[in-house]
Amino acid sequence: MFLSLFITGLFCGPVRADDSITLISDAETQKYLADIVQPLYQAAGLAFNPNKIYIVRDNSLNAFVSDGNYMFVHTGTLIEAENTNELSGILAHETGHILGGHIVRQKIKMQKMQYMMLGSMIAAGAAAVSTGRGDAAMAVVLGSQSAALNTMLHYQVQEERSADESAVKLLNKTGQSTKGLLNFMNKIKQKNILSGLEENAYFRTHPMTNERISHFKEAEKTNHHPTAHKLDSKFAMVKAKIAAFLLDKDKVNRMYPATDNSAPARYARAVSAFRQGNIPQALNLIDGLLKENPSNPYFYELKGQFLFESGQVQQSIKAYEKALQLLPNNYLLQVSLAHALIESTPNKQNIQRAISLLQKSLYTVNTPFAWQLLARAYDMNNQRAASYYAAAEYSYADDNLETAKRQLLNARKAGADKSLSLKISDLEQRIKEDEKERE
């Protein structure tokens, strides 16, 4: 697991790095979520791409979708859920938003709302001129904004109801219980009570919690599918890992006490020991898990992280290599191994291997960190033009367009060949399009 900052707007589409949402990249968790989402998408008749599922480092209870069918799941949702059935219900609800075309419609509504705001400002100016009173202008603005907000929130409440109904249908269609949705909604209600949140239908973008609870209780009367899920054992491991990485030590100890000798508890304690700097204990625990399950790639991945981040880079390479042997096409493992190869005392063969791994990872998912590493690897391999180009891709992903343009100019000056020149031209065009949109 490693943490990265990307830029993303609320409903802007592909993940990019400018709204300071912290995303967690973890192969095990992303695979688990993909295994939940795929049958829901299939039931909904939607195209499925596992690389469009992201984990948001935020311990509140939430999940959301964005333009382009990107799905985001908060770490708080993973930690607070009791089982896969609860998570499946939540993700079925989000799938309902995609199925209903709510994101595109909401963008249109937002545009209309902006036009209404602009209209109110024009009207306010006219009022100020005709009356000579600033308070009249303010009254026009506030009145128009209130009407626009009321319309927008009412529309969003209707969408949430629609997504709830779609979730129930999708769960029935995939042979899953609706009880998880009901249980999770009760969790949200309890959180609201504990936080002193006053539920006001006017200022909420979801139907009242009690209304949703009643809806799911009614749905449960005709849904007799079991709550047990074939992914429950994987959920227990994912939850343990996420909790141990993100929660404070005392809370992790309460969740997974020393008396608990289950695999998830030992998994959590391994991560907790690593976070406390007790590397020997962390390695001992993960080696114990590997002895019981030597074909688990995620145990090797975690061992690689323990070793790498404690300065045992050469040993981490072996762990990452084993993980990648078991999961050969995983882009995160490719990046991790490449990173270890670069940070070791690399020879030319290892540098070229790192370049190959990073190129493969970028064919799958375009990640800024991979471009950053690739720029370093090309430079170490004396491929200056390619290094500048990769650095420009990183700067572009980091929303630093001026730096990217300078790096592309340097790439051309360094003697880019025909193939690289085409890539440079493509990025230059993307930058121009972005600049034009901002104007």
In the chain the first and final C-alpha atoms are separated, in Å, by: 38
| Token couple for 335 | 């990046």
- C-alpha span between 161 and 281 (Å, rounded): 49
Q: Using CA of residue 65, residue 66, residue 72, residue 76, what is the dihedral sign?
A: negative
| Token couple for 40 | 């829901």
Q: Please list the residues that pair with 55 across neighbouring strands.
A: 24, 73
Residue type, 91: L
- C-alpha span between 376 and 374 (Å, rounded): 5
| Token couple for 309 | 């981040």
Q: Using CA of residue 322, residue 26, residue 90, residue 157, what is the dihedral sign?
A: negative
Pairing of strands 70-74, 63-66: antiparallel
pLDDT for 194:
60
Tokens 């609860």, residue located: 86
Provide the mean pLDDT of the chain.
83
CA–CA distances in Å: residue 345 to residues 6, 351, 428 = 30, 10, 35
- C-alpha span between 211 and 215 (Å, rounded): 6
Task: Please report, to the nearest 10 degrees, the dihedral formed by the alpha carbons of residues 397, 400, 405, 411 taken in order.
Answer: -60
Q: What is the maximum alpha-carbon separation in the chain? A: 83
pLDDT for 420:
97
Residues of the chain with pLDDT under 70: 1-20, 101-157, 192-209
- Backbone region of residue 175 per phi and psi (left: phi > 0; alpha: psi in -120 to 50; beta: other values): left
pLDDT for 16:
40
- C-alpha span between 225 and 199 (Å, rounded): 32
pLDDT for 193:
64
Residue ranges per structural domain of the chain: 1-101+160-200+207-246, 383-439
- C-alpha span between 303 and 306 (Å, rounded): 5
pLDDT for 225:
87
pLDDT for 406:
97
User: The pTM is what?
Assistant: 0.81
pLDDT for 346:
87
Cβ(119)–Cβ(141) below 8 Å: no
In three-state secondary structure terms, 79 is helix
- C-alpha span between 162 and 201 (Å, rounded): 17
Spell out a b/e string for 42-78, using b for 16 or more CB atoms within 10 Å of the CB, else e: ebbeeeebeebbbbbbbbebebebbeebbbbbbbbbb
Q: Using CA of residue 376, residue 275, residue 245, residue 26, what is the dihedral sign?
A: positive
